Amino acid sequence: MKIVYRDLVYKLILLSIIVYPINYTIGGLRLLDFIFFLMFFLSLKFVTVKKNNLLIVLPFFILLVLSIMMGDIFTDNALNYERIIFIYKYSYPFILIMILYNLNLTKNQLDKIFNFALFSYIVLVLWVYLYLYLKLHNMISGSFRPSFPFSNDFWISDAHLYSATLAVGLLFFSLFKNYSIKYKIPFVIISFGAIILTGSRSGLLVFIIGIFIYGIVNIKKFIVYLPIIIGTISVFMVLSNFIEIPHNYMLLVERASNFDVSNDASSMGRITKMLVGINDSSYILYLLGVGLMQSSYTWYDSLVGILMSHVGLLGFISFFFVLYVFRLNTINIPIKSHYKIIFTIVLYCYIIANFITEYFFISRSVFPIVIYLFILHYSIKSQYEESKIIRI
């Protein structure tokens, strides 16, 4: 019977990979969330949690509960009961990881997950170009900066989230498999172009940092990718000189490539909100936060701000300790693997992106990242299992 439930959940994972780009909401929830609820209840039939893993995650949620209690005692802020949804947002990645690690997948199933993930990523890349074409010809109403497909309101752009998702995805897919150069160069050029055309500097920054880390830790492999990087830059330089690019497109390119944030209202606003989040924790000597329902803002546009407000310094440390152990569980698998480098880059780049905006709390953002990390973890584990068979 457990096998039947595992197979159902596996199929729901595949469905989730297909639908996660869909941004249409009903009561604040997306199709991805509804599928997740179904997966969770089905997984109760077979999921087991290791005691050590539970002891690593549990302190964070204890600190979250304590912060909620302290916020009620030490602040006069009005209770906002709608923010109780953040309990789900905090739990989502951990539960998703728990479900994935209990599926016991075959190599063919893992390959199918990868192929589905690649398909959805390509859809997201192509949607940028399609959206801008529709917008340029007044066939769609909304902001000129692209949003995820099927958004309720395209005037409310989530370009910063979009660009960061594309950037981390590009790092994963371009480094994970050794595709032929004739396929990889067009893939990188088109994907990189989509990141730029979101008009957000977040994705470009994340991608540059990822490539920089890769170059430091694996210089030999990095040299192999140099022709792709040079080719991509050359193509964009040629296009900008010989093709007349619509003015609004150029504004997106200029905005994405402008890293002077001193006069940028959006960047200054993020810093201000982060400081407010830190100040929220001052009520309890910065050690605990004021909880979910009595924080000054709903969103702080940075992981630092929202964690300090919700759980304080102790919760902040506990949260990153969980991520540290999560990485360690993969890196400590006793086999030398190129995938370990990619795992670290994807995880670190996503953490860096969250210092810009708290993407961790958005299911359509954290879902594909968990899938990428799971594929890498399972691939490393499979390499280790195969090496044991060979030694025998």
Query: pLDDT by residue (tens digit) across 41-52?
Result: 999 988 888 888
With cut-offs at 50, 70 and 90, classify the pLDDT of residue 119.
very high
Q: Tokens in use for 80?
A: 């906002």
Whole-structure pTM value: 0.90
With cut-offs at 50, 70 and 90, classify the pLDDT of residue 245.
low
d(CA 173, CA 196): 18
Model pLDDT, residue 138:
85
Q: Which of 10-19, 206-215, 243-252 has the lowest mean pLDDT?
A: 243-252
Model pLDDT, residue 259:
61
Model pLDDT, residue 43:
93
With cut-offs at 50, 70 and 90, classify the pLDDT of residue 388.
low
160 and 356 Cβ atoms separated by less than 8 Å: yes
Q: Does residue 5 have a pLDDT over 90?
A: no
Helix (H, G, I), strand (E, B) or coil at 383: helix
Mean pLDDT of the chain: 85
Q: Does residue 222 have a pLDDT over 60?
A: yes
With cut-offs at 50, 70 and 90, classify the pLDDT of residue 322.
very high
Q: Does residue 193 have a pLDDT over 90?
A: no
Q: Does residue 19 have a pLDDT over 80?
A: yes
365 and 359 Cβ atoms separated by less than 8 Å: yes
21 and 123 Cβ atoms separated by less than 8 Å: yes
Residues 6+ apart with CB under 8 A from 82: none
Percent of the chain with pLDDT over 90: 40
Model pLDDT, residue 150:
85
Largest CA distance in the chain: 66
Per residue in 359-387, pLDDT (tens digit) is: 889 999 999 999 999 999 999 988 877 77
Q: Which of 111-115, 154-158, 196-200, 285-289 has the lowest mean pLDDT?
A: 154-158
38 and 12 Cβ atoms separated by less than 8 Å: yes
Model pLDDT, residue 146:
87
